[in-house]
């Protein structure tokens, strides 16, 4: 960037040489001192100055853009790194549209000051200063005359900018809103089509687009008059130099060559001032971009340890764990311990805190009170990388990246060889349906699209977890979307996943966890009971009712299927 600025300054100085050359040629003609050699000399000087300007401007632009896009890369990578280290709740509370708007669009705006404003604005400020100083050596009054249009244009711009901060703030809010709505509309296109809601009838989408258009046009139209006036007046430097120059010429205090030089140089000031006017508008855009990027970069991170923890085993213990979302307590002094290799299950009514317990083990958030330990070590004292290598998490919402199915599975262990991926896929019972695709494992998740059922996506997620081979496995409603045909395959893939592991399962289908070593019954963030399936049937009316409802539901589904096939 420093080299870019230096090249820009040299470019400006080179661009000043043609003005001096033209002035000298005019002087030679007016003083009858013209010779072919001198004219050629000054012509070559002008050409050389132009080439210096062109070449060094090119170098400056190349260097500034290399610098700018390297910095943009670092900012984006830093933001993504920050999101990985921040509590999950902080991240998921941001809308997708706003995140996209900041990471892609707003950060891109910072390219303007880095690649253009810093080198070009400095050089564009330098040129008028050099011209003004040079004109002062000719005639101070004429130097001041070249700036005659500047106060008028500046006053016009000042009037235009009087409500600029508030207007720009409203504009950025409207931009964030329309971005969020567009992303929401795109992600929900399947639902919109299913319920026959076209883009014209989807009022939220249409309203956001129209409101953004109306606000933008109203704002721009309110400034067009003053902006056009400013951009018309600013270049009109001859309005000052010509009449004052003529008066001084008639008085004999300014000779013709000096008059010509003042007129030419006054026009040379116009370009830099015009660019400065444009930079004023961009400066506000840059301010918001930096503000939003800084807000993400300053998100509070989870405190981490860097020294690898020594775990005595892979047992888990929750010690008086409490947790709140936005001041709403969802867990209240939860206590239980799981020996290494045990199978525990969490059950209870929706909203009881089951998923929160599971996510706290992976340290998606930190507990508000109490502690969670693995192998006798508080998870807050385990480096995040080690913790994530220790705990494998399979959720009900299994996200597939738009890369190949091979790479989606390999996400569990990026260093895994192809044969290891195939082995994990076979164990998770997803090899066969993957091979049904024309490209097999090289099929992208996007190409597979809706051809993958919820159960098939879950099996790919389980294959991913198998490849990770973590000693602790958390299944958060991992069979939530499974149809009866696929349930057996899912159960087989889960058996392969949990072999020899410490397992914590959340399930609404109680039949899948009735053989758990211990079932923990939760309601309203509190543990009501801990026992085996048979023990809870005898001791807990709530669990007994849940089990009966589950059995009746399975019987109803089986009956419906039987009647359908008959």
Query: What is the tens place of the pLDDT at every residue in 343-401?
Result: 999 988 888 888 889 889 988 888 889 999 999 999 999 998 899 889 988 877 777 88
What pLDDT digit, counting tens, does each position of 39-77 carry? Answer: 899 999 999 999 999 999 999 999 999 999 999 999 999
Residue span of the structural domain in which 537 resides: 316-565
What pLDDT digit, counting tens, does each position of 302-318 carry? Answer: 888 888 899 999 999 99
What pLDDT digit, counting tens, does each position of 540-555 carry? Answer: 888 888 888 877 765 5
In 3D space, the residue among 225, 293, 321 whose CA is nearest the CA of residue 520 turns out to be 321
Q: Residue 323 domain-assigned?
A: yes
More confident site: 566 or 465: 465
Q: Residue 387 domain-assigned?
A: yes
Q: Please answer whether residues 155 and 239 qualify as being in contact, where contact means their C-beta atoms are separated by less than 8 angstroms.
A: no
Q: Residue 471 domain-assigned?
A: yes
Assigned token pair, 11: 């470019």
As a whole number of angstroms, the distance between CA 423 and CA 469 comes to: 12
Beta strands 502-506; 316-325: pairing state: unpaired
- Residue 560 binned pLDDT confidence (cut-offs 50, 70, 90): low
Is the pTM for the entire model greater than 0.75? no
Q: Residue 20 domain-assigned?
A: no
Q: Residue 17 domain-assigned?
A: no
- Average pLDDT on 225-248 reads 82
Q: What is the pLDDT of residue 339?
A: 92
As a whole number of angstroms, the distance between CA 339 and CA 297 comes to: 40
- Domain containing 433 — which CATH number? 3.40.50.300
As a whole number of angstroms, the distance between CA 487 and CA 479 comes to: 7
**Count, residues in the chain:** 566
In 3D space, the residue among 493, 526, 522, 527 whose CA is nearest the CA of residue 508 turns out to be 522
CA dihedral 413, 415, 418, 424 (to 10 degrees): -20
- Kindly give, in sequence order, each residue whose CB lies less than 8 Å from that of residue 461, ignoring residues fewer than 6 positions away: 394, 395, 398, 478
Q: What is the pLDDT of residue 194?
A: 65
Output 541-549 pairs: Cβ under 8 A, ≥24 positions apart.
542/348, 543/347, 543/519, 546/347, 546/510, 547/510
More confident site: 489 or 429: 429
Domain count, the chain: 1
**Cα dist. 481→75, 281, 396 in Å?**
39, 52, 7
- Kindly give, in sequence order, each residue whose CB lies less than 8 Å from that of residue 100, ignoring residues fewer than 6 positions away: 179, 183
Q: Please answer whether residues 443 and 437 qualify as being in contact, where contact means their C-beta atoms are separated by less than 8 angstroms.
A: yes
As a whole number of angstroms, the distance between CA 114 and CA 148 comes to: 32
Number of helices followed by number of strands (H, E) in the chain: 24, 10
As a whole number of angstroms, the distance between CA 395 and CA 390 comes to: 16
In 3D space, the residue among 50, 498, 15 whose CA is nearest the CA of residue 267 turns out to be 15
Bridge partners of residue 476, in order along the sequence: 506
> Sheet holding 472-476: strands in order across?
391-394, 472-476, 502-506, 343-347, 518-523, 526-531
Q: Residue 211 domain-assigned?
A: no
| Backbone torsions φ then ψ of 327, nearest 5 degrees | 70, 10
Q: Residue 53 domain-assigned?
A: no
Q: What is the pLDDT of residue 499?
A: 79
Q: What is the pLDDT of residue 379?
A: 93
Q: Residue 456 domain-assigned?
A: yes
What pLDDT digit, counting tens, does each position of 400-457 carry? Answer: 888 889 999 998 888 889 999 999 898 888 898 899 988 999 998 877 666 787 778 8
| Backbone torsions φ then ψ of 529, nearest 5 degrees | -160, 155
């Amino acid at each position: 960037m420093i080299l870019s600025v230096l090249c820009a300054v040299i470019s400006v100085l080179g661009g000043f040489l043609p003005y001096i050359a033209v002035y000298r040629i005019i002087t030679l003609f007016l003083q009858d001192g013209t010779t072919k050699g001198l004219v050629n000399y000054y012509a070559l000087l002008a050409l050389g100055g132009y080439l210096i300007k062109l070449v060094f401007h090119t170098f400056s632009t190349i260097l500034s853009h290399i610098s700018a896009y390297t910095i943009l890369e670092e900012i984006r990578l830093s933001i993504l790194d920050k999101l990985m280290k921040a509590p999950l709740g902080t991240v998921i509370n941001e809308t997708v549209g706003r995140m996209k708007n900041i990471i892609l669009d707003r950060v891109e705006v910072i390219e303007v000051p880095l690649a253009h404003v810093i080198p070009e604005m400095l050089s564009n400020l330098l040129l008028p200063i050099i011209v003004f100083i040079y004109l002062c050596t000719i005639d101070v009054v004429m130097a001041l005359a070249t700036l005659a249009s500047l106060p008028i244009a500046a006053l016009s711009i000042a009037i235009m900018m009087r409500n600029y901060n508030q207007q720009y703030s409203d504009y950025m809010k409207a931009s964030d809103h329309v971005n969020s709505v567009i992303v929401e509309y795109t992600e929900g296109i399947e639902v919109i089509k299913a319920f026959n809601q076209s883009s014209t009838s989807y009022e939220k989408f249409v309203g956001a687009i129209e409101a953004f258009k109306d606000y933008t046009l109203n704002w721009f139209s309110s400034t067009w008059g003053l902006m056009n006036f400013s951009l018309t007046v600013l270049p009109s430097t001859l309005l000052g130099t010509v009449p004052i120059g003529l008066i001084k010429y008639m008085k004999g205090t300014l000779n013709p060559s000096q008059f010509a030089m003042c007129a030419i140089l006054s026009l040379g000031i116009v370009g830099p001032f015009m660019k400065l006017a444009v930079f004023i508008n961009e400066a506000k855009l840059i301010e918001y971009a930096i503000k939003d990027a800084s807000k993400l970069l300053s998100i509070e991170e989870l405190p981490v340890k860097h020294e690898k923890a020594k775990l005595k085993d892979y047992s888990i213990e929750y010690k008086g764990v409490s947790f709140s979302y936005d001041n709403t307590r969802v867990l209240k002094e939860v206590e239980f311990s799981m020996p290494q290799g045990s199978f525990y299950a969490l059950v209870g009514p929706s909203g009881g805190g089951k998923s929160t317990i599971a996510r706290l083990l992976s340290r998606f958030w930190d507990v508000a009170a109490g502690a969670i330990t693995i192998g006798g070590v508080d998870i807050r004292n385990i480096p995040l990388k080690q913790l994530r290598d220790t705990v494998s998490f399979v959720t009900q919402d299994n996200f597939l990246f738009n890369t190949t199915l091979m790479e989606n599975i390999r996400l569990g262990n990026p260093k895994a060889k192809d044969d290891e991926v195939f082995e994990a896929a076979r164990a998770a019972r997803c090899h066969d349906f993957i091979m049904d695709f024309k490209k097999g494992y090289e099929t992208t998740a996007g190409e597979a699209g809706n051809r993958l059922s919820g159960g098939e996506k879950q099996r790919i997620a389980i294959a991913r977890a198998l490849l990770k081979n973590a000693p602790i496995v958390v299944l958060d409603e991992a069979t939530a979307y499974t149809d009866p045909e696929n349930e057996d395959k899912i159960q087989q893939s889960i058996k392969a996943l949990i072999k020899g592991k410490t397992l914590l399962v959340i399930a609404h289908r109680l039949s899948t966890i009735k053989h758990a070593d211990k079932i923990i019954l939760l309601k309203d963030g509190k543990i009501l009971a801990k026992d085996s399936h048979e023990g809870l049937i005898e001791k807990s009316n709530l669990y007994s009712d849940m089990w009966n409802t589950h059995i009746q539901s399975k019987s109803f589904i089986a009956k419906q299927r039987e009647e359908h096939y008959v």
